[in-house]
Each structure stands twice: as C-alpha cells, then as structure tokens.
C-alpha cells in the first residue's frame, strides 16, 4: 500500500516552474509540451520529455547544421541515424563504428564515467550485429599543474583500461592531450569498431503490431537517472552533487550480454534491437517506435529492478548499464529466453508494439503516462540559434622580435612537453593485443587490425586540433579531417569514412554557436573533397564551467581499408643508409605552432592554410607508392613540424637520421618547425629511389631529398647531433617527473 501511494503522489505532483527548470526545460518548451499533449503533463511524462528533449538526445541546436555534412558514398551501407555507421569493405564484410562523448560523467566520477563511456559505445556497435574488434579514445585534460588533473587522468585511464581489458576488446589507438581550457571540463571520447557480415546487420526500427517488446541484460537501478540531462547543461561549483547521475558499469555482465545478443542474432528471431544508453528505457523505446511509426506499450511492473520500490519515473529514466530492448518475431520468445537464461541474464517481455503511435506506460494495471511518439521525436524542438562569425587574428609573428634560441633546445622543449611526451605510460594500461588480430598498435599514425582469418585489414585513427579550431574554425575543421586522412594513408590504408564527436561549449552563446557552425563548414568541405563521408557521430554541447567554455574540439575517428596485408607500414625507420624524402611543399608557417607555444608561450595568428587539392594528390600518390612496396616507413607532418616528425621516426627505431639544411628557406626554424599541411616524411631504399622519384614527378608532386638514415644519431647538418637514447630519455622526461 505504501508503494502504491508513493507512485500516486509522484504522478499527481504539482509541476512548478522550479521543477520545470530542474528538468532542464525552458518555460516556452513546457508550454509547447502542453500544446502537444492538449493538457498538463504529469510528473512521469515531464521526466520523459526532459530526457528526449535535452540536447544530448534531440540534437535540437545542432541538427540543422549536421544535415549539411556528406553522409553517403560508395562504401556507405548506413549513415547517421542508427546506433552506429556501417561501411562495406568487400567480400560481404562490413565495418560498424561510432565515437561518443562521456565528458560530464568522467569529470564528476572519472573511473565510472570513462568505463561506462566504453561500455556504451561497445553496445552501440554490437547492437547492430557486429563483434567489436577495437576500441580507441580521445581524452583531453586541463593543465598538468592544475590540482585536479592528476587524479582525473589516473581515474579516466584506469576506467578505460578496466572496462576494455575486462570485456576483452583491444584498445589500439588514441590521443591524450593537455590544455588549460579543459581545467574544469575534461573530454572523454570513446570509439568502438566492429566487424559483421553485410547480411547480418540489425537495426532499431520497430515493425509489426502486437510484437513482444523484451527487456534483456542487467537489472534496473537508480544510477544514472537524468544522466542525459546532466550532459546537456554546464557545470557550476556544485558539480560534485551530480555524482548520482553517473552510471555504474560492469564489464563482465556486458561480455555476457554481448555474447547472448550475438548468439540470438544468428537466426531470424530479432525484428529490431536498441541498447539502453542515454535516457535508458525512455530513449530506446521511443526511438524504436518512432523509426517504425508505431506505438509501444510497456508494463513497468515487469521491469527487472535491483532496488526496492522503484517508481515508474525512476525506471524510465534510469541509465543503468548493460541493458537492451529487443522486439521479437512471433513465437520466438521461448527460444530467445533460453539463450539469455544460459548467459545468466534477465529476459522479460515487458510490453508490445501497438497501432496507437503512443508511448503508453502502465503500472499497477493503470495507465500512468501516455504520450504521442511524434511529440517526443519528430516534434522535439529544433533551434536555428543565432551565431556570429569568428573575428580572425591575422597577426604575423616576426622571429627577429623573439629571444634567440638554439635549434636543438627548441626541439628538446617540444619533445619534453606534456603533449609530445611518450604516452606509453597511458597505453601500457590497455590490453592492445587481445583477440590476436592487432597488427599495429598505439605509437604509429594509425592502428591496424586484421580481419580475422583474412589477409586484409582496417586502419583506425582519432585526431583533434583545438588550437586551430579556436583561431579559425573553418580552417581548423578542414585540418582535422585532413590530418586523420593522412594518418590512414601513412599506414597504407585507403580512407573510407569517418565518425565525429563534436565537443563545444554553450550553444546559447552566439560566439560558441559560431565556432560550431564554422567548424562544421570546414569538416563538410574537406569530407566532400576527399570523398570521406561522415557515417555516425555525437554532439557534446555545454562543455564548460561557470560560463568558461572549452576550446572548440571536434574529434575525428577514421577507418581505412588495407586490401592485402603483406608488410604493415609504420613510422619508425627500418634500416641505415636509406633515403629520406619530404613530400609536399614547406612554406614555414609558424602561427599557432607548437614551436611558438612551447618555446615562447605564444598562441596567436592563423592556422596553416589547407590546400585540399594538394592533400588529395599528395596522399593518393603516397598510397600508390606504398601499394607498389616502394616505401619502408612513412609519417605525416603535423604538430611540431618536420623536425618533430623526424625525431619521432628515430625514437621509435634503432636508427637515426642525418638531415641536410634546406636549399630554399633560409630560416631554419620556419623550415623545421613550420606546420604546413599536406606533407609526409618517407623512408626509401636507395635501390628504389629512381622509381619513387619518377612516380612523384609524373604525378606532379613536390618533393625534396632531405637526408639519409644512420645508426644511433639524430643530426641536423651543421647544427647539432644527439643520440637516439638521449632523445628517448628527453621524450620520457615529463611523465617521469609528473
């Protein structure tokens, strides 16, 4: 009786302006809800609208801009709109992949926030019928001197490793960056990649009437309630109070759930399937019904709960992990139940599909909530927010005005900085080789994963460049797509498609919205020119605390195909006395460079210009050289310029390099530290040099012969030489003292 009275009180609770505000809704949005319902919502219905209309689920501020991105292509099977994107890699094989943010939860509770971010993105992939084969991440922290950074870093890395290692999926690549812009709002973006057969891909669209709606997986608890709404609001000084909104993950249960789902997917039992991620049971049921233009009726008494006296409100909004919603074909219930019983997981028919086009919620045999599906989905708010164009700083840095430093000292400063230091202390906490198909792991431009029992492979990489995006969003958006594209090229992969995680500040701020719109314009332009479509992704707004917004940080995750895996290409030098060639023209662009930031604390001016034609031509020509087995090693040039790329190639091998002084640019700092784009360093066997030069000349590709490899020493002609051992020690210096 006490339980029933509690439910009645909650349902009949008077809705005040304060309650509306606490649910993350604007008063005008509440008025719109009343119009759609033609009545006042009850407390349960208000919670459901809050979940579905928040930024995280509805994309209400970003949708009009996202529509501009290219999403179709020769290899695309499924673009945005499903749990993950799907591409065709030939031989009836498909790759399913997506990246998502778990920023706010990871700041509040680093271990569980990062861990459940991994768990959530894995479910997005295996929900579609794919066995996950790789995990990646892009993690951004505040200044290393900030009092929270060390504990946040340790918690996040432990959470990523803890979940991925336990479930048995290799974490093969990623990036770890530091910048004071993330002091009060770290970024934790997780990417998962899976392999499936083209004829065994599963979707979330509901079909048919009176079909069983089945709850499978873990029991529902009170963890994670309003997690999606929390992710759609800025932090303030009371952010620690939001810990109850962070989900708690169990990788061992997720492993059981994955195996049970994949086993059931072997026959024709499943009509549709959807994981319970953000907004839990609410979003999964609404999304299935909306895509199928059907209604769904749920009997909440039947929801398996791990806590006593849970209300319908709590059941619908809980974001407890390791749960799925499945719609089954008629007569398949017993068959499916046996599978989930075998894996020791809950399996309960909690509802059915209907012709009402409503979400109908029953509890104690009474209707506690009834909402038109379209009111939650297609009629959710869409905002064309006002935005302003970025005011560009076109300041040109004059090196003559700066304190003179030595070339060697400038390089040491970069290699010993937090962002360029050796990150093996992070990656060593991840199992990178489990499943035995990791051909090339963290440390190269891209990781390589063999398609099991085949001689082909995929390459994967994640990249971001917040400084460039802050200084000139359009150029920054283009640059990060191009860098990701280059990273796949350097390992011999043909880039096929990307997923993106768009991390920005408050979209209600015109300047922030402008950064978003312009970054997307740059991403769109580069993707279209390179035939590199966007097949999935995520938008994370409201990254900031007390009105201090992060730098615009779009993260690009790319997938490429290696049709025949013979000898993988990496960026470490392979032998001595081979030739080193620079592909692409150097102009000596230093504005927004790592050189100025690390040596002079200068972050000013424009990022380097992006010439998309050069990017395309230079990259495709390099891919041709790799296909012809004419390249020993390759590395793209990005942050830190040519000299940093050469040092990285040396440190990752037992061979150094003797590099000649430039013939054209007289300023050595511009030449060696300039961050001009569309450039690569390649190592070539002397015997193959004539063939390589001919192909480059025939392709009208600019190149320079810049040096040779040698034993042990990294040398710039007439300037300095340093042992590889010393370089390595310098590169590890920051972490050893952190």
Q: What residues are annotated to the active site?
A: 56, 102
Structure tokens at 49: 């609208």
Structure-token match 């390179």, residue found: 530
Q: What angle separates helix 43-53 from helix 27-37, to the nearest 10 degrees?
A: 120
Structure tokens at 217: 């997986």
Structure-token match 């939860």, residue found: 105
DSSP 244-304: GGS----HHHHHHHHHHHHHHTTTT-EEEEEE--TTHHHHHHHHHHHHHT-EEEEEGGGS-
Residues forming a β-bridge with 500 = 537, 556
Pairing of β 131-141 and β 171-178: parallel
Residues forming a β-bridge with 346 = 217
Angle 352-353-354 (CA atoms, 0-180°, nearest 5)?
115
Do residues 692 and 581 lie in contact, with contact meaning Cβ atoms separated by under 8 Å?
yes
3-state secondary structure of 98: strand
Alpha-carbon span 680 to 706, nearest angstrom: 12
Alpha-carbon span 99 to 499, nearest angstrom: 6
Alpha-carbon span 635 to 645, nearest angstrom: 7
Do residues 595 and 414 lie in contact, with contact meaning Cβ atoms separated by under 8 Å?
yes
In degrees and rounded to multiples of 5, residue 589 shows phi and psi of -75, 120
Alpha-carbon span 390 to 377, nearest angstrom: 33
Alpha-carbon span 489 to 492, nearest angstrom: 5
Alpha-carbon span 443 to 633, nearest angstrom: 13
Structure-token match 């090229």, residue found: 489
CA torsion 418-422-424-425 (nearest 10°) is -40
Alpha-carbon span 90 to 80, nearest angstrom: 21
Alpha-carbon span 95 to 558, nearest angstrom: 12
Structure-token match 């990489």, residue found: 461
Containing 326, the helix (H) or strand (E) segment is: strand 323-328
Do residues 186 and 179 lie in contact, with contact meaning Cβ atoms separated by under 8 Å?
no
Q: Break the chain down into helix, strand, coil percent, rounded to 5.
A: 40, 25, 40
DSSP 166-227: HHT--EEEEEEEE-GGGTTS-EEEEEEEEEEEGGG-------SSSPEEEEEESPB-STTTTH
Alpha-carbon span 138 to 269, nearest angstrom: 37
Burial of 45 (0-12, 13-18, 19+ CB in 10 A): buried
Structure-token match 């219930």, residue found: 333
Alpha-carbon span 359 to 714, nearest angstrom: 67
- CB atoms near residue 469 (< 10 Å): 27
Alpha-carbon span 278 to 43, nearest angstrom: 19
Q: What is the DSSP letter of 649?
A: H
Alpha-carbon span 224 to 314, nearest angstrom: 10
- Sign of the torsion angle spanned by Cα atoms 529, 56, 106, 80: negative
């Amino acid at each position: 009786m006490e339980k029933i009275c509690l439910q009645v009180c909650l349902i009949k609770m008077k809705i005040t302006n304060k309650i509306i505000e606490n649910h993350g809704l604007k008063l005008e949005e509440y008025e719109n809800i009343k119009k759609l319902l033609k009545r006042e919502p009850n407390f349960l219905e208000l919670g459901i609208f809050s979940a579905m209309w928040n930024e995280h689920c509805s994309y209400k501020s970003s949708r009009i801009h996202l529509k501009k991105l290219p999403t179709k292509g020769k290899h695309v099977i499924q673009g945005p709109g499903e749990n993950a994107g799907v591409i065709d890699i030939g031989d009836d094989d498909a790759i399913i992949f997506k990246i998502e943010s778990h920023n706010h939860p990871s700041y509040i509770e680093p271990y569980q926030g990062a861990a459940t971010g991994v768990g959530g993105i894995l479910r997005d992939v295996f929900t579609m019928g794919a066995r996950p084969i790789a995990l990646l991440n892009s993690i951004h922290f505040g200044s290393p001197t900030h009092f929270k950074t060390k504990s946040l870093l340790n918690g996040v890395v432990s959470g990523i490793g803890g979940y991925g290692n336990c479930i048995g999926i290799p974490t093969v690549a990623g990036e770890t960056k530091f910048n004071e812009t993330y002091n009060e709002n770290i970024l934790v973006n997780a990417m998962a990649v899976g392999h499936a057969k083209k004829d065994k891909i599963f979707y979330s669209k509901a079909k048919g009437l009176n079909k069983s709606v089945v709850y499978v997986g873990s029991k529902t608890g009170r963890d994670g309630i309003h997690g999606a709404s929390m992710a759609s609001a800025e932090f303030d000084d009371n952010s620690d109070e939001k810990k109850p909104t962070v989900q708690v993950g169990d990788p061992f249960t997720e492993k059981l759930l994955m195996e049970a789902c994949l086993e059931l997917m072997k026959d024709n039992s499943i009509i549709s399937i959807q994981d319970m991620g953000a907004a839990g049971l609410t979003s999964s049921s609404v999304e299935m019904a909306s895509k199928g233009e059907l209604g769904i009726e749920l009997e909440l008494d039947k929801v398996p709960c791990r806590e006593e006296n849970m209300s319908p409100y709590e059941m619908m909004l809980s974001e407890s992990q390791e749960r799925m919603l499945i719609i089954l074909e008629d007569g398949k219930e017993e068959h499916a139940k046996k599978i989930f019983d075998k894996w020791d997981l809950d399996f309960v028919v909690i509802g059915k599909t209907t012709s009402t086009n409503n979400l109908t919620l029953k509890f104690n045999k009474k209707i506690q909530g009834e909402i038109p599906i379209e009111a939650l989905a297609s009629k959710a708010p869409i905002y064309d927010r006002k935005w302003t164009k970025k005011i560009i700083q076109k300041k040109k840095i004059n090196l003559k005005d700066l304190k003179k430093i030595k070339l060697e000292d400038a390089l040491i400063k970069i290699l010993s900085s937090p962002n360029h230091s050796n990150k093996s202390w992070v990656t060593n906490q991840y199992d990178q080789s489990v499943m035995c198909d990791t051909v090339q792991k963290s440390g190269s431009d891209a990781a390589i994963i063999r398609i099991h029992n085949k001689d082909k492979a995929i390459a994967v990489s994640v990249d971001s460049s917040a400084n460039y995006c802050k200084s000139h969003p359009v150029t920054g958006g283009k640059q990060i797509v191009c860098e990701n594209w280059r990273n796949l090229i350097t390992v011999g992969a043909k880039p096929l498609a990307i997923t993106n995680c768009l991390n920005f500040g408050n979209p209600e701020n015109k300047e922030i919205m402008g950064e978003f719109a312009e970054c997307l314009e740059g991403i769109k332009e580069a993707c279209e020119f390179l035939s590199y479509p966007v097949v999935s992704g995520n938008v994370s707004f409201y990254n900031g605390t007390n009105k201090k917004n992060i730098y615009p940080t779009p993260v690009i995750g790319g997938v490429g195909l290696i049709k025949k895996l013979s000898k993988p290409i990496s960026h470490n030098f392979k032998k001595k006395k081979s030739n080193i060639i620079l592909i692409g023209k150097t102009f000596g662009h230093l504005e927004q460079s790592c050189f100025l930031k690390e040596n002079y604390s200068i972050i000013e001016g424009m990022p380097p210009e992006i010439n998309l034609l050069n990017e395309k031509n230079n990259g495709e020509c390099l891919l041709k050289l790799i296909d012809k087995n004419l390249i020993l090693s390759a590395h793209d040039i990005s942050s830190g310029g040519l000299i940093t790329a050469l040092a990285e190639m040396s440190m990752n091998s037992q061979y150094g390099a003797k590099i000649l002084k430039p013939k054209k640019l007289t300023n050595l700092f511009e030449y060696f530290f300039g961050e001009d784009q569309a450039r690569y360093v390649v190592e070539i066997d002397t015997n193959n040099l004539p063939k390589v030069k001919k192909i480059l000349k025939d392709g009208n590709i600019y190149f320079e012969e810049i040096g040779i490899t040698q034993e042990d020493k990294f040398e710039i002609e007439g300037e300095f030489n340093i042992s590889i051992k010393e370089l390595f020690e310098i590169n590890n210096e920051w972490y050893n003292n952190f």
